[in-house]
Amino acid sequence: MLLSGCSSTPSSVAPVSAVTPSSKPSHIAKKPTPQVNFVNVYQEWKGTPYRLGGTTKRGIDCSAFVQVGYADVYQTMLPRTTSELAKVGQWVSRNKARYGDLVFFKTGYRTRHVGIYIGNDEFLHASTSQGVIVSRLDNPYWRRTFWQIRRMPTAR
């Protein structure tokens, strides 16, 4: 049996400014991009505490946060657990990662963690120690536990 709970996060957190959308003036109304939408998801959930099995603002786990983010941005429902998510979509090499790809980590013998890649080596996730935050893939902890990146069919 594979456990798919989320893991603790080291204390370094990416600055909030790293996920704010650019504010270029536009004379034509455009459909919000996934980048802007994931920023909105982050702003809405930022600081929500971690709770294993949680799916609400009172507490959410990593796979539920991914599920909520995808439902908001792509209007699609992904599987609920990290182990199920790790079987969906297409494997992508780290240097080909793009907004909306899911990043997976092996954080323990049978424990997995998942987040949403937002570019610039950063990802959104629900951390067991800090709740919903932005972290960097080049952080030593995440670099050491990195497992894979997967592109979901709806994010192509």
For 135, counting Cβ atoms within 10 Å of its Cβ (0-12 exposed, 13-18 middle, 19+ buried), the class is buried
125 a catalytic residue: yes
Enumerate residues 6+ apart whose C-beta is below 8 A from 4: 63, 81, 82, 83, 84, 111, 112
62 a catalytic residue: yes
6 a catalytic residue: no
Alpha helices (H) in 19-75, listed in sequence order: 34-45, 62-74
Task: Please pick, among 6, 19, 60, 62, the residue that the annotation labels catalytic.
Answer: 62
Q: Within 10 Å of residue 106's Cβ, how many Cβ atoms? A: 15
Task: Please pick, among 113, 136, 150, 151, the residue that the annotation labels catalytic.
Answer: 113
User: Are 153 and 67 a contacting pair, CB within 8 Å?
Assistant: no
Task: Please pick, among 112, 116, 125, 135, the residue that the annotation labels catalytic.
Answer: 125
Active site residues: 62, 113, 125
